[in-house]
A and B are shown apart, each in its own frame.
Chain A
Amino acid sequence: MNPDLPVTFQNVSKRYTQRDEDFLACRNLNFSVAEGETIAIVGETGCGKSTAMQMLLGLQQPSEGRVQVLGCDPFKEFDALRGQVGIVFQTDRLLPWRTASQNIQFGLQVLRIPKARRRRIAGEWLERLGLSQFADAYPHQLSGGMRQRVAIARTFAIEPRVLLADEAFSALDEITASVIRVDLLRLVREQRTTTIFITHSVPEAAEVAERVLVFGRPGQVVKEVNVRDLSSREEAAAEIRIGLQMARAESRRCETSPT
């Protein structure tokens, strides 16, 4: 395991027990992400993407293997990673009782940043994302796109070294999603943030990532696509689709073979 890599999964397996039955969510999962790299994880529903991300966030502990984030075990050293890992969720999760500015300040408040500085940072982010005039608006007064921008600002305000974008655009219409995708990518590149996009969308994965990991059931990497090595995004998308077919075949094989 290379300690210099910000994210490393080494032989990670995760088992759940549901109604007295063992359920394997991840099996021998291995991957790593380099400093400043942008990767995408693609896979069908139930392929262990979310479980892997829960382990990366330190909200779940692996049953076997090791997860390392910025040199720490995210589960055992939960507090050590405070302010280091940011996440943009599928839904904006803005707190309805907080204004746009106050929502952006959420992570800063967790980090106990003084109020005046929090306000200044929130103001800068609102301006950067073109939402200055909505600083005092409550979430219900904002459009879906504006809300997701505020959620993005909330994450970037803490200047995370590792960013997870969990289906961050899937709740938006395609036009709004493409605009916000551009905004997010611009920020990721400006800040040189190590980023993991989780998505169902093959075109999105091919567009945003330098490297794409195709996940198969149960939670394992069945194919890795280096977008940088390919001549076009279309070619990358074709490679990802091949990976998804491999994942499906593997999944069928596992279902039919005796355990």
Chain B
Amino acid sequence: MAVPRALRERWRSQSALVLDLVLIAVVWQVSTYFLPPIVAPGLSAIGRALLDIFIEPDLRIHLIYTSLRVLVSLLGAFIIGTAVGLMMGGSDWFRDYMRPLLNLMQGIPALSWIVFAVIWFTEVEVRIAFIILMVTIPTFALQVDSAVRGVNLDFIQLAQAFRASRMQRYAMVLLPAIVPAIISVWSVNLGNAIRVAVVAELIGATTGVGFQLLNAQAVLDMAAAIAWTLSLVLVLFFYQGIIMMIERRLLAWRPKGEQA
């Protein structure tokens, strides 16, 4: 029986990743024969620790905390960033004022935001949300602004010629036209947000993957540290899978070669 073409193509694209993972696992396992377990624990120990994270409710809750913090903060950053980006795209005046500010925000290291958050806020959840927002809002806003300015003028003129209202122009032309840019910035910001969230959880948090990594460091449990890191990677893959599903649905109109 012939394997469907779509399945074959999918396998081809995934096979490189699988090969990479196998290679890393082999190198790691070989290194465990030469290094002490505290430095390079065996694959089975890491696997067990990883399984525990997903099976044990007391551990799983930390992964859920981090995942939700990332998701909620990113949704907030998306709403604020998109609104700012749309306003920048629609007003040169607003753009002139906002662009330097957003560039400045982008230039500030995440670590500085963490320090500011610790000084300004006592509530841990507020700190983490603030840090993720500060790191991801500029990317959303600048990308949306650039996408709005890149919208084909012919489409804008079409809407004008049909005498569409300003709201209709946004809803029927501008927003659908910038969907590809929004999806692409979500993918970029997802990775940023997860990295920043974990670092933020290292300071003052009593829940989350960052807190667990700190615990693993305190007891020199390398297997747990790697397992928590891998669990975060799995969370990233999970969210990326959702983004890809949304992309396939919203961008089904694109020619085959341009699709995800």
Q: Which residues of A contact B (CB under 8 A)?
A: 57-59, 78-79, 81-83, 85, 87, 89, 91, 93, 95-99, 106-107, 109-110, 138, 140, 158
What is the bound-complex CA distance between A93 and B177, given in angstroms?
Answer: 13
Which residues of A have CB within 8 Å of B120?
none
Which residues of A have CB within 8 Å of B179?
97
Q: Is B39 an interface residue (CB 8 A)?
A: no
Contact A82 B158 (CB under 8 A): no
What's the least CB distance linking A160 to chain B, in Å?
Answer: 10
Which residues of B have CB within 8 Å of A107?
162
Which residues of A have CB within 8 Å of B168?
109-110
Contact B155 A106 (CB under 8 A): no
Contact B163 A106 (CB under 8 A): no
Contact A95 B176 (CB under 8 A): yes
Contact B163 A78 (CB under 8 A): yes
What is the bound-complex CA distance between A91 and B176, given in angstroms?
Answer: 20
Which residues of B have CB within 8 Å of A93?
154-155, 157-158
B interface residues, how many (CB within 8 angstroms): 21
B 149-163 binary contact with A (CB < 8 Å = 1; else 0): 000001101111111
Contact A95 B155 (CB under 8 A): yes
Could you jot down 7 A-B contacts, CB within 8 Å? A91-B154, A95-B172, A95-B173, A97-B179, A106-B162, A110-B164, A110-B168
Q: 6 closest A-B pairs (Cβ-Cβ)?
A: A82-B163, A97-B253, A93-B158, A110-B164, A138-B253, A87-B161
Point out the residue from B160, B165, B172, B255 that lies within 8 Å of A59, measured CB to CB: B160
What is the bound-complex CA distance between A59 and B157, given in angstroms?
Answer: 9
What is the bound-complex CA distance between A82 and B159, given in angstroms?
Answer: 11
What is the bound-complex CA distance between A158 and B162, given in angstroms?
Answer: 9
Which residues of A have CB within 8 Å of B253?
96-99, 138
Which residues of B have CB within 8 Å of A89?
154, 157-158, 161
Q: Which residues of B contact A (CB under 8 A)?
A: 154-155, 157-165, 168, 172-173, 176-177, 179, 251, 253-255
Contact B161 A57 (CB under 8 A): yes
What is the bound-complex CA distance between A87 and B164, given in angstroms?
Answer: 14
Given contacts A97-B176, A97-B253, A138-B253, contact A81 B154 (CB under 8 A): no
Contact A79 B163 (CB under 8 A): yes
What's the least CB distance linking A56 to chain B, in Å?
Answer: 11
What's the least CB distance linking A252 to chain B, in Å?
Answer: 33
What is the bound-complex CA distance between A203 and B173, given in angstroms?
Answer: 36
What's the least CB distance linking B153 to chain A, in Å?
Answer: 10
- In the complex, what residue of chain A is closest to B163 when comparing beta carbons? A82
What's the least CB distance linking B155 to chain A, in Å?
Answer: 6
Point out the residue from B157, B163, B177 that lies within 8 Å of A110, measured CB to CB: B163
What is the bound-complex CA distance between A78 and B255, given in angstroms?
Answer: 37
Which residues of B have CB within 8 Å of A97?
176-177, 179, 251, 253
Which residues of A have CB within 8 Å of B165?
79, 110
Contact B161 A59 (CB under 8 A): yes
Contact A106 B154 (CB under 8 A): no
- In the complex, what residue of chain A is closest to B179 when comparing beta carbons? A97
Which residues of A have CB within 8 Å of B163?
58, 78-79, 81-83, 85, 110
Given contacts A59-B160, A97-B253, A138-B253, contact A109 B154 (CB under 8 A): no
- In the complex, what residue of chain A is closest to B180 when comparing beta carbons? A97
Most central of A81, A95, A138 by chain B CB within 10 Å: A95
Given A87-B161, A96-B254, A109-B168, 18 more contacts at CB 8 Å?
A57-B160, A79-B163, A79-B165, A83-B163, A89-B161, A91-B154, A93-B155, A95-B155, A95-B173, A96-B253, A97-B179, A98-B253, A99-B253, A106-B162, A106-B172, A110-B159, A110-B162, A110-B172
Which residues of A have CB within 8 Å of B164?
110
What is the bound-complex CA distance between A59 and B161, given in angstroms?
Answer: 8
Which residues of B have CB within 8 Å of A110?
159, 162-165, 168, 172
- In the complex, what residue of chain B is closest to A112 when comparing beta carbons? B168
What is the bound-complex CA distance between A58 and B254, given in angstroms?
Answer: 33
Which residues of B have CB within 8 Å of A78?
163
Which residues of B have CB within 8 Å of A95?
155, 158, 172-173, 176
What is the bound-complex CA distance between A57 and B158, given in angstroms?
Answer: 11
Given contacts A78-B163, A82-B163, A95-B155, contact A109 B172 (CB under 8 A): yes
- In the complex, what residue of chain B is closest to A81 when comparing beta carbons? B163
- In the complex, what residue of chain A is closest to B158 when comparing beta carbons? A93
What's the least CB distance linking A81 to chain B, in Å?
Answer: 6
